[in-house]
Structure 1
Amino acid sequence: MKQTSLRPVAYATIGSGNYAVLVALMAVVVVLSNIGGSKGVIFGPVITDGGFFLFPLAYICGDIITEIYGAKAARRAIFTGFAASVLAVVTYAIIIVLPGFDDDYGIAKQQALEVALGPVWQIVLASVLGFLAGQNLNTLVMSIMKKRHLERGLFARMISSTGLGEFVDTLVFCTVAATAIGITTVGQWANYTFFGFLYKTLLQYALMPVTAWVIGRIKRYEPTYQAALDPR
């Protein structure tokens, strides 16, 4: 039911240290996930990549930022994360082209860097396209539902936004990134996409009580959020 209260939607300002920490954490998670994502990983019949265990944390950070600081602040965090990813890719490229030692160890290290870091640009491209689409959809759903229900229904909006956001993100990311980790068939791609979506979504659902607890703590101790709740 649509809430009829005239109380405005409450958001904190982004000037606090809490927002800065969340943005920094999201950026680090995205950069590290992109490095891990360049490695294909197999668990029995399941195909995934080396960033699978870390990337859902970026969505959790996005949910927390959107709920407390609003959609505009969340979009700023998203673009900050991918600016860091682009900087990382440029840095890797420079490291690879710099002249190294020409002994056997130097040549072996150069080859290892090219194999390990060379494909990361494709993972970053996949991550940018997928995360921008998925996380922005996630943010949109969160913010629309909060405007409707205000402080109520936190779990409902996290469940709805996570399912939609992760589906779009995983579909786009796995399609673009597949060849970078060695996927060559439609069956492998379907496996990679399905289990990636299933794992990330179920993990975020399982962690929602923790996410809700963190949101509640930050709301309680964020002075500008408390002021927005009672603007009199």
Structure 2
Amino acid sequence: MSTDYTNRQMKPDSLGLKYLHIVSMLFVTSLLISSILSIKVITLGFLDAPAGIITFPIAFISGDILTEVYGFKIARRVIWVGLFCQLLMSVMFLVGDALPYPDYWSLQNEFSAVVGFVPRVVAGGMVAYFMGEYLNALVMSKMKIWDQGKRFWLRALSSSLVGQGLNSIIFTFIAFYGIYSVDQLFILIGSGVLTKMIYEIIALPLTSYITKWLKRNEGMDAYDYDVGYGIV
């Protein structure tokens, strides 16, 4: 087999999945950004929530698109890739923080305060992310079959409510237990879920448009009949 033929065969276009890598990269990037932003707690009007809510809904929206267009098996694969990337980021932060530094470097305490806390945030995020995203994809996939592909808006919001609700509960308690009071933790959970859902509702017209555009241009609209829903 010639090299040119092999290269042509490896092009995404030849597989008919021209945009899968873009959606996957958006998913993983928003996930990593959220892990770092979530160190900070922000106030939005009367709501207090981790700053990760700015980008984390993008990961769930991307997850909805992955499951709706490409199917549960591909979405599950990307979820695992995201989990590995979170772990790698956390380990590299710990290594970078532990490495020796010259006397003129005067920001070690500030650096440690940020990246030293990230592994705890990431630990909470990894567990919460995997459970939330997995459940989000599962609900999205099942509802599509039950509803025969109708009412994308309903399964997108329903799956996100379930997935993001579980994610917020697990993440907040692992990342912030012992730092804030239990009452404050529940405020963070409630505020986080409410803000994320408002975010998703506002973004729903764009999400629906992108989903329809991808289905048309990829020539793919997956229905997960006879698909196993195991974690691997």
Please give the TM-score of this superposition, normalised by the length of structure 2: 0.84
Aligned partners of 1:17, 1:118: CA distance in 2, in Å? 39
Structure 1 counterpart of 2:167, from 148, 166, 169: 169
After superposition, what is the alpha-carbon deviation per residue over 1:56-75, rounded to whole angstroms, capped at 9, x for unaligned? 00000000000001111111
Tell me what 2:181 maps to: 185
Offset of residue 164 of structure 1:
1.1
Report sequence identity in percent: 29
Aligned partners of 2:86, 2:174: CA distance in 1, in Å? 16
Pair 1:202-2:198 in alignment: yes
Within-5 A mapping of 1:4-153: 16-43=17-44, 45-103=46-104, 106=105, 108-153=106-151
- 2:16–2:218: 8 Å Cα contact kept in structure 1? no
Name the SS for the 1:41 alignment partner. Answer: strand
Aligned partners of 1:66, 1:206: CA distance in 2, in Å? 20
Aligned partners of 1:91, 1:208: CA distance in 2, in Å? 35
After superposition, what is the alpha-carbon deviation per residue over 1:202-230, rounded to whole angstroms, capped at 9, x for unaligned? 2112211110100000001103x1799xx
Tell me what 2:226 maps to: none
How has the CA–CA distance of structure 1 residues 186 and 205 changed in structure 2, closer, same or farther, with 3 Å as cutoff?
Answer: same
After superposition, what is the alpha-carbon deviation per residue over 1:24-57, rounded to whole angstroms, capped at 9, x for unaligned? 1111111111011112223464321221211100
Tell me what 1:216 maps to: 212
- 2:136–2:159: 8 Å Cα contact kept in structure 1? yes
Amino acid at match of 2:204: M
How has the CA–CA distance of structure 1 residues 45 and 209 changed in structure 2, closer, same or farther, with 3 Å as cutoff?
Answer: closer
- 1:75–1:136: 8 Å Cα contact kept in structure 2? yes
Offset of residue 149 of structure 1:
2.6
Aligned partners of 2:102, 2:43: CA distance in 1, in Å? 35
How has the CA–CA distance of structure 1 residues 166 and 144 changed in structure 2, closer, same or farther, with 3 Å as cutoff?
Answer: same
Superposition CA RMSD, Å: 2.1
4+ residue segments displaced more than 4 Å: none
Aligned partners of 1:226, 1:161: CA distance in 2, in Å? 18
Name the SS for the 1:89 alignment partner. Answer: helix
Q: Give the length in aligned residue pairs.
A: 210
Aligned partners of 1:35, 1:226: CA distance in 2, in Å? 34
Tell me what 1:7 maps to: none
After superposition, what is the alpha-carbon deviation per residue over 1:157-179, rounded to whole angstroms, capped at 9, x for unaligned? 11211111111111111111114
Mind listing any 5+ residue stretches in structure 2 that lack a counterpart? 1-13, 224-232
Name the SS for the 2:27 alignment partner. Answer: helix
Aligned partners of 1:77, 1:127: CA distance in 2, in Å? 16
Aligned partners of 1:84, 1:22: CA distance in 2, in Å? 16
Mind listing any 5+ residue stretches in structure 1 that lack a counterpart? 1-12
How has the CA–CA distance of structure 1 residues 210 and 227 changed in structure 2, closer, same or farther, with 3 Å as cutoff?
Answer: closer
